[in-house]
Amino acid sequence: MQALVLGATGHIGAHVVRALLAEGHSVRAAYRSGRFLHVIDGLPVERVRVDLDTLEGLPHALEGCEWVFQAAGYYPRLFGRPREAIARGVETTRRLIEHLRRAHPQRIVFTSSAATIEGRGPNSLYVHVKLAMEQEMARAAGEGLPVVIVNPSVCLGEYDAHRFSGRLILVCARYPLLFSFDGAFNAIYTGDVGVGLLRAAQRGRLGERYAMTTRHIALREFAALVAEAMGRRPPRWRLPWQVRSSWPLDGRVAIRELGLPQTPVEEAIRRAVAWFRSQGDL
Ligand SMILES: NC(=O)c1ccc[n+]([C@@H]2O[C@H](COP(=O)([O-])OP(=O)(O)OC[C@H]3O[C@@H](n4cnc5c(N)ncnc54)[C@H](OP(=O)(O)O)[C@@H]3O)[C@@H](O)[C@H]2O)c1
């Protein structure tokens, strides 16, 4: 298949590219800035520059593509204005949909987030923006666009050059912690998400949303695993402050229908730490 990966230099996109190449597909890898091209260095892909804000490069990138993977993240700023951030997310999604309608790919895999299912408190701007974008895609699917939506939980693994979820690992790895905090989150190895997106294009039900997760992990255990990967002692004391929490997410549908792989989260953390070391971050 000829596949277009939007956000190919991103954490998830870099894994989607590798999953596609491993099964012999042709990949057009779309990046925006060129700053993070090193994560796809040396791979046999066609590189194209696409800016989803201005739509520059998009029509050319879509030409002749049978599969389109949307993994180009729009992350609202932490303290951004909600109304503007949501409007921007909706507007970029609508414009992308218009182009997808004209290009007629066989399958579109849209990356949303588990946060739209599990929620992170009613005030989380990220959740609001992601939900608004996902709803635009779901509406387009209802009108006949061949879309499958995927909702990964926190992704841990290599090629996290933008350091979105990697920040969590870097903080625990850089600063030996004496304390850990209460709380837990859903996590998955990013390589499994890459394969999951490919399977979503191959076998996903149109209009379906697939939660992708492996394990609900306590923060204290996460901190201990990062410490172990760094060859350090785990945090000794636990403080009763909850810094992050979510309910365990049910990922069984994606495992059953898509054959989503389930690499242990311990291994995902080891690979992430090794990659950050190879990049000189640790
Ligand atoms: N990482 C996670 O834990 C996680 C979990 C659940 C869902 N998600 C969702 O998955 C998607 C991808 O996440 P990620 O962590 O892989 O993101 P990331 O590492 O921050 O990478 C983002 C990618 O999108 C590209 N991009 C950003 N804005 C763009 C624009 N306006 N036009 C064109 N390309 C643009 C970036 O290009 P440059 O390299 O040129 O900047 C980069 O390739 C996001 O929608 C995110 O919400 C992520």
CA of 258 to the centre of ligand 1 (A): 23
Which pair of tokens denotes residue 253? 């549908």
Ligand 1 touching residue 155 (CB < 6 A): yes
Task: Tell me the H-state helices in the chain.
Answer: 11-22, 58-62, 82-103, 115-118, 125-142, 166-174, 190-203, 219-229, 252-258, 265-278
pLDDT one-digit tens code per residue, 228-244? 999 988 887 777 776 66
Give the model confidence (pLDDT) of 205-234 as tens digits. 999 999 999 999 999 899 999 999 999 888
* Mean pLDDT for the chain overall: 93
Of 205, 202, 215, 107, nearest to 156 by C-alpha is: 215
Which is the closest atom of ligand 1 to the Cα of 111?
10
The answer on pLDDT for 185 being more than 80 is yes
Read off the pLDDT of residues 91-133 as tens digits, 9 standing for 90 and up.
999 999 999 999 999 999 999 999 999 865 555 888 999 999 9
Give the distance (Å) from ligand 1 centre to CA of residue 160: 10
The finding on whether 31 has its CB within 6 A of some atom of ligand 1 is yes
Q: Cα–Cα distances in Å, from 274 out to 38, 103, 197? A: 16, 40, 24
Residue 52 dihedral angles phi and psi, to the nearest 5° = -75, -10
Mutate to test the pocket of ligand 1, among 154, 164, 260, 279 (most ligand atoms within 8 A of CB): 164
Residue 130 CA, closest ligand 1 atom number: 47
CB 245 within 8 A of CB 184: yes
Mind listing the domains of the chain with CATH numbers?
Answer: 2-164+187-214+247-263 (3.40.50.720)
For 112, the token pair is 């949303």
Beta carbon of 9 within 6 Å of any ligand 1 atom: yes
Asked whether 50 and 57 are in contact (CB, 8 A), the reply is yes
pTM for the whole structure: 0.96
Given ligand 1 and candidates 4, 5, 6, 11, which is best to mutate, with the most ligand atoms within 8 Å of its CB?
11
Paired tokens of 115: 């946060």
